[in-house]
Amino acid sequence: MHPLSIPCIALAAFNAAVGAYYLYLWRRRPASGEYISFALLCCCVALYDSFTAGLYSAESLAEGIFWQRLQLDGMLALSVALCWFAGIFTDRQGDRVLRAAIVWCTVLLLAALVAGPELTLSPANPIVVQVDVPGLPTITYYEAAMGPIYQLGSLTAILLFPYLLWCVYDSWRRSGDRLLLPALAGLAVYFAGVVSDLLVSLRVYEFVYVSEYAFLGITVAMTYALLERYVAVQAAYERLNAGLERQVRDRTAEIAATLARVKKLEGIVPICMSCKRIRDDKASWQLLETYLSEHTDAMFSHGVCPECKEKFIREFEKKRQTKT
């Protein structure tokens, strides 16, 4: 294994771990599209890092072209995931340019998977370059010249990344969300790395591939931004729960006090001296038993006391004698 493959494998493991973490968060909160899209993006980058590690360790043209093809296919898949995540993160899910870019990169990826070497990478067009960067181990790239499909993919990336930068900047300008600034910086660093890699693959100048390292800026920035949003949501949820619990306690105490007042007669009760009816809060006169039934737990069973019984008998006898 070439020494430069080791950092790529470490980056692949790191991005895979971050992707797995956000996949777990998405399982806990499926409604959050940011988590699943960022998890997919991290997984695509982890694969790209792994393919780059394989390319660095290639020792023949056939082996190098194998890893180069996977690397370029990974770049197309990464572009799809990045457009999807950027649309959700910047609240531009309906953006026609991003949707068109997703469809276009998907078509290019499918075409690259089924097309022949003449349209992708052909051993007939080898590019074997030895790169010697001061301070780094010497590395030999066993690659082939990119065919039309990968050339279109590279051109798409060159045109797409400035638009993604503008989307993030425009979202920050409209919303003032400070969490978009780290994302903007990370995306700019990654864009610079991708451009450098494309120029290296086109043999504009000789250098090692750096986009796998540059993506670390996006991973750190997005992880920070998404965690900040998650913490903010949790804090708002806790404040809401605390407020609701306080309202429930206050309302419960209020209801208990009201019930206590309803079940206990207090103060002066207006009552008629003649018929013994009681006036309620609505200025309506109610029978004594009706009023007490509504304002206490008492229940009434009607009967006649001995004195009233004697009185009713005398009155009944008197009326009967009068009729006779």
User: pLDDT in tens for each of the 324 residues of the chain?
Assistant: 888 899 999 999 999 999 998 898 888 888 778 889 989 999 999 999 999 999 999 999 999 999 999 999 999 999 999 999 989 988 888 899 999 999 999 999 999 999 999 999 999 999 888 888 788 888 888 989 889 999 999 889 888 989 999 998 998 888 888 878 888 888 888 888 888 887 887 778 778 888 888 888 888 888 887 778 777 777 887 888 888 888 888 888 888 776 666 555 556 778 887 787 888 777 888 887 777 777 776 777 777 788 887 887 787 777 777 766
Q: Domain residue spans in the chain?
A: 5-237, 261-324
> Is the pTM higher than 0.75?
no
| Residue 103 structure tokens | 């469809």
Among 119, 117, 82, residue whose Cα is nearest residue 101: 82
Residue in the structure block whose two tokens are 């979202």:
171
How far apart (Å, rounded) are the C-alpha atoms in residues 148 and 153? 9
| Residue 1 structure tokens | 């294994």
Burial 22-49 (b: 16+ CB within 10 A, else e): bbebbeeeeebebbbbbbbbbbbbbbbb
The alpha carbon of residue 143 and the mean position of all alpha carbons in its chain are separated, in whole angstroms, by 40
Fold of the CATH domain 5-237: Rhopdopsin 7-helix transmembrane proteins (1.20.1070)
Among 165, 132, 145, residue whose Cα is nearest residue 72: 145
DSSP string, 10-37: HHHHHHHHHHHHHHHHHHH-TT-HHHHH
Question: For the chain, how are helix, strand and coil distributed in percent, rounded to 5?
Answer: 70, 5, 20
CB 139 within 8 A of CB 130: yes
How far apart (Å, rounded) are the C-alpha atoms in residues 230 and 34? 11
